[in-house]
Amino acid sequence: MKIVADKSIAYVEEAFSPLGTLITLDGLKITPDSIKDADVLLVGTATKVNRKLLEGNQVRFAATVTTGFDHIDVEYLKQKGIGFAHAPGSNANSVAEYVVVALLEIANKYGLTLENKSIGIIGVGRIGSRVAKKCTALGMQVLLNDPPLFRKTGDKKYLPLKDLFDCDFITLHTPLTLEGIDKTYHLADEIFFNSLKNGSVFINTARGAVEDTIAVKNAIKSNKLKAVVIDVWENEPDIDTELLEIAEIATPHIAGYSLDGKVLGMIMVQNALCEFFGIADKKGVEDFLPPPEVAQIEIENAIGNEQEILRQTVKKIYDITKDDAEFKKAIEMPKDKAALKFHNQRRSYHFRREFQNTTVHIRKKLEKLAQMLTGIGFKIELNES
């Protein structure tokens, strides 16, 4: 069979060329003509898979290696009998780690102590639940909002949205839904921001349209918000460069771009493809993941408080300030060039590794720090001295 795939998919050649004739293209250059005789289409978020792309083609199976699939017209695929797969949860830990790193950087910049600060998590699915666990390990007070989960479970830990408005930090982890009682389109609008505690910090790693860009900018300009961390943007890749400039941390939709998450997403799609076509060639992440660049970290002289040691430790794995600085080069660019910068930085991303690949060696007497490191995902080896 013929497979057309986004060339940015991790290990795409190694995983899919044994299954058929593989053609790899830039995600923005996947067109009706380029897939006219393809049996399989594999994409990331750069490609909109809909009637316009697929009408008249012979694609039998389409998949995205991402968790979200609002760029896929799933109803159209059903109508045409085209198989579909995505990678739910594959990037969940990566996004949660991104949030932890961002929290530590914001706290450092503004001289904040995260311990006992409150964080409101809107959306407590695969990602939000991991964020909650890691923030708890940081000693934060975690408040949860997830109306669908509340209706399903009746668990009172899922609070009304208004109960989160007094939090020091607010982070979004919902899918993008355009209608219904759980509509999230522009959930973070002018009323939302006006309701927040003065000087709070807003983080969005969900979907760009869950926030109203104008409302976010107004909240920053009026000093309603202390700081904003934005990884997802309305109308990607046509980003708002004014918001890019005034956001404390801005990145081009790469929160979920750990190599671990990318490989897991690819594997989930590869396995689904094999199952759909009855091919006995399923792979596992162990077939692709290389050893981590930073396998060991020694914490010998714990100078400073736990939070600063944590920040310095995670920075050895992922320095979010480098992604921010690189992306902000787009501020002075024309609109089309800024969009290309967004796409190119994602396409050529350096693929960081997750904390779980690194063992931290730490003195046994630093028990609190060890627990925090374990809670955010590191392996720990205690030294007696």
- pLDDT tens-digit readout, 6-43: 999 999 999 999 999 999 999 999 999 999 999 999 99
Is 80 exceeded by the pLDDT of residue 322?
yes
Q: Tell me the per-residue pLDDT of 117-160, one tens digit each, with 9 for 90 and over.
A: 999 999 999 999 999 999 999 999 999 999 999 999 999 999 99
Give catalytic status of residue 306 as yes or no. Answer: no
Please report, rounded to a whole number, the percentage of residues in the chain having pLDDT higher than 70. Answer: 99
- Active-site residue, from 97, 211, 234, 236: 236
Q: Distance of CA 156 to CAs 7, 57, 115, 126, 132, Å?
A: 45, 49, 24, 19, 16
- Active-site residue, from 130, 253, 343, 346: 253
Length of the chain: 385
225-255 burial by CB neighbour count: b if 16+ within 10 A, else e?
bbbbbbbbbbebbebbbebbebbbbbbbbbb
Is 90 exceeded by the pLDDT of residue 305?
no
Residue 67: what pLDDT?
87
To the nearest 10 degrees (0 to 180), the angle between helices 367-376 and 126-137 is 170
Residue 68: what pLDDT?
84
- Active-site residue, from 86, 130, 186, 207: 207
Give catalytic status of residue 253 as yes or no. Answer: yes
Give CA–CA dist 259/292, Å, rounded: 10
Instruction: State the burial class of residue 39 (Cβ atoms within 10 Å of its Cβ: 0-12, 13-18, 19+).
Output: middle
Any idea what DSSP says for residue 209?
G
Is 80 exceeded by the pLDDT of residue 301?
no
Q: Tell me the per-residue pLDDT of 161-211, one tens digit each, with 9 for 90 and over.
A: 999 999 999 999 999 999 999 999 999 999 999 999 999 999 999 999 999
Give CA–CA dist 144/128, Å, rounded: 9
| Domains of the chain with CATH codes | 2-86+258-287 (3.40.50.720), 92-250 (3.40.50.720), 296-327+350-383 (3.30.1370)
pLDDT band at 351; cut points 50, 70, 90: confident
Residue 385: what pLDDT?
64
Instruction: State the burial class of residue 193 (Cβ atoms within 10 Å of its Cβ: 0-12, 13-18, 19+).
Output: buried
